[in-house]
Structure 1
Amino acid sequence: MTSSPGPASSASTGSGPTETDHRTYDVVVLGGGAVGENAADRAGRGGLTVVVVEAELVGGECSYWACMPSKALLRPGAVLEAARAVDGAAQGVTGMLDVGAVLARRNSFASSWDDAGQVQWLESTGIDLVRGHARLTGPRTVEVHHEGQATTITARCAVVVATGSEPVTPEIPGLAEAQPWTSREATAAQEVPDSLVVLGGGVVATEMATAYADLGSTVTVLVRGERLLGSMEPAAGEAVAAGLRTRGVDVRFGTTPTRVTRRGSGVEVETEAGVVTAAEVLVATGRRPRSGDLGLETVGLEPGAPVTVDDSLRVAAVPEGWLYAVGDVTGRVATTHQGKYDARIAGDVIAARFGAAAQEEADGHVEPAAAGEQPAWSRYRATADHGALTQVVFTRPEVASVGLTEAAAVEAGHAVRRVEVPFSSVAGAALARDEVEGRAILVVDTEREVLLGATFVGPEVAELLHAATIAVVGEVPLPRLWHAVPPYPTVSEVWLRLLEEYGL
């Protein structure tokens, strides 16, 4: 269904809408982050007119306050440590990180928080942009408010919710008043505080504790539970805790803040065990879907809750199948790469349902949005969300995982065997650094002899993950995987050691 966006197509320039602006597009995407961009792009390839609505910066969380700036902060410390881990190179390392240079490089990766380049990309693909906060006002209808003006947009075919997630601030007395950092402030800071208290034990908490320790802060991590990275294999959290402590970070488990007070240029965090003081406090206790003010109640959904979708990313609870949701807002995924995967599928589904090719094949056309009618490996079904989620934590050591942990596999009813080997058994790992550390863990379905999950803990293990992902997604039988010969001497030879440990 192709048609012009109407006389108000000047939105692609990013100019503000007029008070009487009414527009019609085939597809309306709420959220201009990486996930929303992918959904818009794939739908547009089907010949549909598409508009993206974004209240902040086009490019979203990943580009400016998450993936890109956080890894830019973490990489220099990792490189410096890698050099110091090899005799001969270590003697050439005579100084510490140049903090100003690290922050400047980070700024460049965040485009200095200017989205002009991202807007230009939208324009190049023929996707329009409307800036402002969007709310559904009824079926296929969105109202956007920006600088006192309103734009009403009607979607002929579909609306895609791609608004991401937002940090959760726990209800600790005084915390909100203390104006704590969230991940945004931590990744965008232009000065490094002398000291930092981190509340939480997940990915953001451990990565930012690592980064700020590298940059010279005295870091204390307060964890309510008894381990870090609670959704991963216990060995991963144990290794990361040990790595943080090696770098001077004070990691305290079983510690719950009871009050936070900002006094002058610093904060006091009270706990049952005493008071921790620091220049700043970072709240990294989790995130929730950003769905609280989207007008979901006008179409029968609960504001603030995950927007539940089927495997075609369609919101089945909304009649006529016009509403889709992708990324963090669904509660299915919590990473940019997995959200982009969902977005590509949703965009393809929408294009196949409503695009030019679908109109040409209307007679006898099988609607791909009916996920239950599609095979498991169809490009119109997000099956990876169920058993092949991937995650990398860029701490030191790094943690990379795909699929199910041993505990999750057992809980799901699988007959499993855990296989674990240290990287010290691999010659390539010894060549990479003088003090070999880390381990690799496989979770094997013993009935089918296929991988259900894999976890790697050690330096640069992110680069090992995709091979494991292919094995999990492809359900490659271990006897066949035995014939995938890893090159020598590389760290990937750990695959040979794992299969030998299994008994092949």
Structure 2
Amino acid sequence: MTEQPAQEFDVVVIGAGPVGENAADRASRTGLSVALVEAELVGGECSYWACMPSKALLRPGAALAAAAAAPGLAAQVEGLHVDPAAVLAWRDWMTGDWDDAGAADWVASAGITLVRGHGRLAGERLVRVAAPDDPSAPASPGLLRARHAVVVATGSVPVLPDVPGLALAAPWGSREATSAPSVPRSLAVVGGGVVACEMATAFADLGAHVTLLARGGLLSGAEPFAGQAVERGLRELGVDVRLGVGLAAVERPEPGGPVTLTTSDGQAVTAAELLVATGRVPRTLDVGAESVGLTPGAPLAVDDSMAALGVAPGPRGPWLYACGDVTGRASTTHQGKYQGRVAGDVVAARFGDPQAAGAPTHADAPPPAGAAARPWSRYAATADDVAAPQVVFTRPQVASVGLTEREAERRGLPVRAVTYELGELAGASVTGPGYAGTARLVVDAERRVVVGATFVGPDAGDLLHAATIAVVGQVPLDRLWHAVPAYPTLSEVWLRLLEAYGL
């Protein structure tokens, strides 16, 4: 059967999660025609299986805990628990019941062409689209040709450790956990990262008996005190936390029945469900990387303009770009969206018409192919390396940006870290008795600028953006001294940290 001629667009974006949406939107702003290819739901992992549903599951327990800590409310809420059915119904509403019609409408309103199906690179500026799994979906167009650029934003996929019996036991990944139709009586969680800690918190709030197994400590990439605080918080919720324990074998004799884990120390753990959250890898095995000379399964390495490395450029410069988890540079939605904005802006500036209606106006210009962008150019994802923020919505919250003390020292920076207990602030005392938390700044002692910050405590995420601005802006400590915090708020910790540094 003869294949239909390729449909042509100026730009083709593979992956319609938040990262791909941002890249497509930005690329279209100088008049370029853009096709956005998606095999599943428009809006991607974050909207339906990650950020939004997980926070919907976590918020009620956090709100109840905050009420229980407030003077005058503790007695009224004593003995209360979150309502699992109501929480799951709220989660369903937050995900739109896994219907992407609204997101698809936004794509159309932005003038972007949505193509349903699985997109794979098929050579220079070519994308082959296979029919989607949904038989009711429109037929795939087959082959798309990009006149100028292809952007890959296919995200990441979870990985299962090689443990006897694990794959046959039908374990949950993060998708199954956040979309669970009911709360299991008991849940075993394997892993010590963000997903493991957040889901252990959520399901403990919802009434499940949770056992958490982690080969090392919790949140190993954060400052050590952060993981220790989260461990204490989980234990206070009744989670059976076992650190330094690996998984040796898994058995599930009956489909849907209980699962039994054998741990590395010879213990047995039985639970109604098992969540494995031991990491994710860039989704490049099924994107046709080999068709352009790249290695399937490896991250799509990019420069700071998000142009793929190791791919021969086209007549007008780099044609293949990548952003988000698929690059291996960052693993948060907000950082991927930032990369998507950079990639889309670069493509729009290099190939679009700067005089097009609605085109942004600014003095910056993308660097020539192969040349470095000026510091903090809008066409370079500079923040990936030095100022990536993250909030872990456990109890307590963990908020961080930039480098930990350990990472800064590993990079050879002349650093000095200062720490202050949030509970000693007047702003903490007004929230109620027993507020506990810790803040740390990591300072480049030679340049006297903040290169990293971590805040641990209730609602610590609210402190993060000020730290992000300090790191990105490379604001000298002597100038930060004049940023007067309002009293009585937790922001006063900035004054106390600077005093601890010696100002």
| Structure 2 length-normalised TM | 0.94
| Structure 1 CA distance for aligned equivalents of residues 186 and 253 of structure 2 | 14
| Structure 2 CA distance for aligned equivalents of residues 50 and 290 of structure 1 | 22
1:339 and 2:336 are equivalent in the alignment: yes
What are the equivalent positions in structure 2 for 1:201-350 lying under 5 Å apart? 201-225=192-216, 227-264=217-254, 265-271=257-263, 272-320=265-313, 321-350=318-347
| Structure 2 CA distance for aligned equivalents of residues 366 and 34 of structure 1 | 25
Q: What SS is found at the alignment partner of 1:210?
A: helix
Residues 130 and 142, structure 2, Cα contact 8 Å, conserved in 1: yes
Residues 21 and 150, structure 1, Cα contact 8 Å, conserved in 2: no
- Per the TM alignment, residue 100 of structure 1 is displaced from its structure 2 partner at its CA by 0.9
Partner of 1:29: 13
Partner of 1:391: 390
CA deviation string 1:416-462 (max 9, x = no partner):
11100001220001111311101100101111110010000000010
- Per the TM alignment, residue 134 of structure 1 is displaced from its structure 2 partner at its CA by 1.1
Aligned residues: 482
What amino acid sits opposite 1:330 in the alignment? T
Partner of 1:115: 100
Partner of 1:8: none
- Per the TM alignment, residue 367 of structure 1 is displaced from its structure 2 partner at its CA by 5.0
Residues 391 and 461, structure 2, Cα contact 8 Å, conserved in 1: yes
| Structure 2 CA distance for aligned equivalents of residues 395 and 149 of structure 1 | 42
Residue from 124, 149, 165 that aligns with 1:158: 149
1:425 and 2:409 are equivalent in the alignment: no
Residues 309 and 316, structure 1, Cα contact 8 Å, conserved in 2: yes
* Runs of 4+ residues deviating >6 angstroms: none
- Per the TM alignment, residue 253 of structure 1 is displaced from its structure 2 partner at its CA by 1.1
| Structure 2 CA distance for aligned equivalents of residues 434 and 51 of structure 1 | 55
Q: What SS is found at the alignment partner of 2:275?
A: strand
Is 312-321 or 182-191 further displaced after alignment?
312-321
| Structure 2 CA distance for aligned equivalents of residues 179 and 150 of structure 1 | 35
| Structure 2 CA distance for aligned equivalents of residues 210 and 114 of structure 1 | 27
Say what the alpha-carbon RMSD is for the aligned residues: 1.6
1:353 and 2:350 are equivalent in the alignment: yes
| Structure 1 CA distance for aligned equivalents of residues 65 and 84 of structure 2 | 15
Q: What SS is found at the alignment partner of 2:6?
A: strand
CA deviation string 1:388-434 (max 9, x = no partner):
01111000000000000000000101111110000122000111131
Indicate the percent of aligned positions where both proteins have the same amino acid: 61
- Per the TM alignment, residue 19 of structure 1 is displaced from its structure 2 partner at its CA by 7.1
| Structure 2 CA distance for aligned equivalents of residues 496 and 104 of structure 1 | 43
Residue from 192, 199, 202 that aligns with 2:190: 199
| Structure 1 CA distance for aligned equivalents of residues 172 and 423 of structure 2 | 39
Residues 19 and 149, structure 1, Cα contact 8 Å, conserved in 2: no
Q: What SS is found at the alignment partner of 1:268?
A: strand
Partner of 1:106: 91
Partner of 1:189: 180
CA deviation string 1:117-153 (max 9, x = no partner):
0000000001011111111111000110115855100
What amino acid sits opposite 2:262 in the alignment? E
- Per the TM alignment, residue 373 of structure 1 is displaced from its structure 2 partner at its CA by 3.7
- Per the TM alignment, residue 87 of structure 1 is displaced from its structure 2 partner at its CA by 1.7
1:69 and 2:53 are equivalent in the alignment: yes
Partner of 1:134: 119
Residues 351 and 358, structure 1, Cα contact 8 Å, conserved in 2: no
| Structure 2 CA distance for aligned equivalents of residues 327 and 256 of structure 1 | 30
Q: What SS is found at the alignment partner of 1:441?
A: strand
| Structure 2 CA distance for aligned equivalents of residues 369 and 267 of structure 1 | 56
Structure 2 alignment gaps of length 5 or more? 133-138
- Per the TM alignment, residue 371 of structure 1 is displaced from its structure 2 partner at its CA by 6.6
Partner of 1:478: 477
| Structure 1 CA distance for aligned equivalents of residues 296 and 209 of structure 2 | 40
Residues 117 and 140, structure 2, Cα contact 8 Å, conserved in 1: no
- Per the TM alignment, residue 319 of structure 1 is displaced from its structure 2 partner at its CA by 1.2
Residues 366 and 379, structure 2, Cα contact 8 Å, conserved in 1: no
- Per the TM alignment, residue 90 of structure 1 is displaced from its structure 2 partner at its CA by 1.4
Structure 1 alignment gaps of length 5 or more? 1-17
CA deviation string 1:267-312 (max 9, x = no partner):
0001133110000000100000001011111111000100000000
Residues 307 and 322, structure 2, Cα contact 8 Å, conserved in 1: yes
Q: What SS is found at the alignment partner of 2:300?
A: coil
What amino acid sits opposite 1:131 in the alignment? R
Q: What SS is found at the alignment partner of 2:455?
A: strand
Residues 312 and 369, structure 1, Cα contact 8 Å, conserved in 2: no
Partner of 1:81: 65
Partner of 2:166: 175
